[in-house]
Structure 1
């Protein structure tokens, strides 16, 4: 590590915002520069993003740090990059984009997912990857392209993910990391590509598109002259390729601090629920759902279940309230309505209505995969009012989290919470009671950027191991545990049984409604994506 270089810059390219965050070598956040992301939604379920604009936005975010930190270029010891997971970012000759990226929100691969999941080889694929098939994943999307849009793949030389594309522009190296490589095409035990997984996806003839696997906690590559010109940093600055954003956020928020049974949930627009376990201790559920994602710690992986939509459900409920109030006068702001949530919760009784939080047009992916799943209330009566509905929506997020952890084995002994919902005392109380476990919130503001910056800190020798880095960057920032309310725990135990029974029973109803829409006779028959679907991605 070069003397005088005392800053690590972590880049977190989320679905809604791309951030460049500066940290000192002890993990203190110094400055942040952010650029709003942009993507496009199509009537056929397409959700795409410009590769060129994404790199330009990344360079802009990095340049923004120069305005906040004097002498930045000479002080940066390393860069690290993470980003939204899944999706397909194709590059061809000269590392030029082949087409706009298919994002994790893209639903076009649904027919291919159904076909692949029905193959007799899919269980073997699940056993090596630890990951259930869904429309988000690059494997499913490549298999769909191979059948429906082969021209895209014919012009491609590498299939990357978002962070890989940015890393390519920073270093000139085509690579991916062990986490995304193994949960899509590989074996989480070996952290390498797996013939079993690739063959089950029917992509043997496309194997040449898969890039080299690089662990950014062990290896860095120098910033190129071209990238230095665009970012204002010094050529040769070490660049670390981080793991996928889900585990980077969890690493920064405390998923692994050496405490047995602890887990981490990121509850933003989406919900990500994970626990750190030894690779030999993974619980592979019978349904074949969820993810197993490697951590940048030898022999350690995260088991993951993800809700397609989390606080997006609350945003929907508040939007309904805003629309109704606006009909009679001035429309309240989102912030005005958020400030009322605790009051509404206080004026309602817990556990009276079931709400399934499947508001995304892409359906659900954890702990079950169903593109046709949709949100809904069960148990309404004439006495219920908006506070009751709002409480049901919030409780639905707690039930969804419990559903996810149940699919991974035992409930956590402690939950570390991050994401926008961590600021809500009402939601923290619901989560604590739904899981019957204490909740702790990290004061770390930018956990995803911190997670990848921690990898760079280890790679350049600022720390001897990731555990040493965690002890200084993560553990001290965990707040005091908030214990669950015993009375609420009993209510939610009963509610969860009904919640789960109802979501299982509703599956044929969702499928029938989807068939009606496809035939042009149901709601949203034109297939146009809603504003809610377009708003997804704050935690991605």
Structure 2
């Protein structure tokens, strides 16, 4: 039997997963990413530490699968998109890696907007600008860290850096170029977008672009010694996580819809063309097969739960982590509508990118009364993330007929049924729990000859673990709450500028 290794470098967790030739995960290991915040609003990593964590997960995943590194036929890597992983001519990090939640360049982004250049950038790239995308960060670095520019040989993304550590080769793929952002029609880097962001001097530091499924290098003897893999094992270029997740759940045909319940809730629709509607909002990423994934994200996905549990507490497991079964029981005991409490889930310091653009928008609880309890507020958080997903899909030019859920939240039958009722759509739960790792493992499998092409691989391995149909009565009740949610978020939006002007700058985020 042939085995494949998929590595998924997430914002919070890095995972290595061993798959067999049927796409079944047979070994998995993960580590929490060590986030550095040298200043408020900054989100960095020590790239060498991240590589060491990757090494640990590879060794552990091989042991978990009961195989040796020599049994791995090929390797694929997925990673969160955006940010800036700068390396010098020897491949060594120039500075700490910067990741997409970073807020340092928010003022620069606002200046781009004030200059009236956001529309031009979107017309070229199909992507709305945010502080943590690569081009905006590079503009900030040009002004504040010119030495980093001078020392940099290549600007990589997260998965590209890990592949460099494995193979010694510098390259990227069209999906990650999408979020630099580049020219989405040409699937190349855009000098004009970099110029708009004040980062034109970085254009010659953009790496070679290789097709996502191409063999971009082989495991070096040094990496083999560190990881336990076989030297010479082929490594494909890989994908940004959004495109990898779609591939991993079999969402490759135009019209397929997917929501990844992660740090951000990525509400995704597969297209056969670079569809930009709604103009100026969200993201548009390249996929294999000359397809695209149109994404309207709720940038405050799991962040909303993390914020709520950090501030208000949670029942804990014996290991000290939040007890989500107990939390669900609390929320389930509260009727639909959360006792009149509505949560506006805009707690990400980067603001809102969809279904409207407002970098200053922030979250709030509305409808709180003397009767309101912890359980009411908790249910309101669950419902709000469903409302936000419906809100994003409603803004798209094509409406889905069903929706695949993946990510940690997809394991919850309670929440999946709520999504079905709120969105009025059948909800399918992908059997592949590690869809990002599987997506790039499928590319690796095609390169290794296990499948003839990526479409065959995706169809052969896509499995549905559960399906939830909307309850007509619940769906009708939620229609009313959803309309109130939309009216409430519009009212609070009007206060964003006023609040930002009144708050001291150091806590305005």
Tell me the TM-score range normalised by the shorter chain. over 0.9
In the TM superposition, what whole-angstrom CA distance separates every residue of 1:126-151 from its partner, at most 9, and x where no partner exists? 12211000012001111111123222
The answer for the alignment partner of 1:49 in structure 2 is 45
Q: Rate the CA distance shift 1:394–1:71 in 2: closer, same or farther, 3 A.
A: closer
The answer for the alignment partner of 2:435 in structure 1 is 447
The answer for the alignment partner of 1:211 in structure 2 is 207
- 1:293 and 2:285 matched: yes
Q: Rate the CA distance shift 1:415–1:15 in 2: closer, same or farther, 3 A.
A: same
State the shift of 1:241 in Å: 1.9
In the TM superposition, what whole-angstrom CA distance separates every residue of 1:149-178 from its partner, at most 9, and x where no partner exists? 222212211111111111111111111110
The answer for the alignment partner of 1:493 in structure 2 is 479
In the TM superposition, what whole-angstrom CA distance separates every residue of 1:452-476 from its partner, at most 9, and x where no partner exists? 10111122222121110011111xx
The answer for the alignment partner of 1:93 in structure 2 is 89
Distance between the aligned counterparts of 1:84 and 1:193, measured in 2? 18
Choose 205-214 or 57-66, whichever is displaced more.
57-66
Residue 420 of structure 2 contacts residue 426 of structure 2 at CA under 8 Å; is this kept in 1?
A: yes
Q: Normalization by structure 2: what TM-score?
A: 0.93
- 1:232 and 2:224 matched: no
Q: Rate the CA distance shift 1:185–1:314 in 2: closer, same or farther, 3 A.
A: closer
The answer for the alignment partner of 2:299 in structure 1 is 308
Distance between the aligned counterparts of 2:239 and 2:103, measured in 1? 24
Partner secondary structure for residue 72 of structure 1: coil
| Aligned match for 2:181, one of 181, 185, 188 | 185
Residue 35 of structure 2 contacts residue 43 of structure 2 at CA under 8 Å; is this kept in 1?
A: yes
Distance between the aligned counterparts of 2:16 and 2:324, measured in 1? 30
The 5 Å alignment of 1:158-173 reads: 158-173=154-169
The answer for the alignment partner of 1:137 in structure 2 is 133
| Stretches of structure 2 lacking an aligned partner (at least 5 in a row) | none
- 1:279 and 2:270 matched: no
The answer for the alignment partner of 1:406 in structure 2 is 394
Distance between the aligned counterparts of 1:507 and 1:84, measured in 2? 28
The answer for the alignment partner of 1:113 in structure 2 is 109
Choose 408-417 or 170-179, whichever is displaced more.
408-417
| Aligned match for 1:79, one of 53, 75, 81 | 75
Partner secondary structure for residue 469 of structure 1: helix
Q: Rate the CA distance shift 1:195–1:519 in 2: closer, same or farther, 3 A.
A: closer
Residue 188 of structure 1 contacts residue 279 of structure 1 at CA under 8 Å; is this kept in 2?
A: no
Distance between the aligned counterparts of 2:408 and 2:69, measured in 1? 32
Partner secondary structure for residue 278 of structure 2: coil
Distance between the aligned counterparts of 1:332 and 1:57, measured in 2? 22
The answer for the alignment partner of 1:22 in structure 2 is 18
Q: Normalization by structure 1: what TM-score?
A: 0.88
- 1:483 and 2:469 matched: yes
Q: Rate the CA distance shift 1:120–1:339 in 2: closer, same or farther, 3 A.
A: same
| Aligned match for 1:511, one of 494, 497, 501 | 497
Q: Rate the CA distance shift 1:61–1:519 in 2: closer, same or farther, 3 A.
A: closer
Q: Rate the CA distance shift 1:43–1:198 in 2: closer, same or farther, 3 A.
A: closer
Which protein has greater RCO, CA pairs closer than 8 Å, 6+ apart? Answer: 1
Residue 296 of structure 1 contacts residue 455 of structure 1 at CA under 8 Å; is this kept in 2?
A: no
Partner secondary structure for residue 77 of structure 1: strand
Partner secondary structure for residue 167 of structure 1: helix
In the TM superposition, what whole-angstrom CA distance separates every residue of 1:352-410 from its partner, at most 9, and x where no partner exists? 33211112333333333433322211222333333322222111101111122123224
Choose 232-241 or 186-195, whichever is displaced more.
186-195
Distance between the aligned counterparts of 1:216 and 1:270, measured in 2? 23
The answer for the alignment partner of 2:259 in structure 1 is 265
Q: Rate the CA distance shift 1:161–1:332 in 2: closer, same or farther, 3 A.
A: closer
Distance between the aligned counterparts of 1:349 and 1:193, measured in 2? 47
Give the CA RMSD over aligned residues: 2.4
State the shift of 1:334 in Å: 4.9
| Aligned match for 1:221, one of 205, 217, 220 | 217
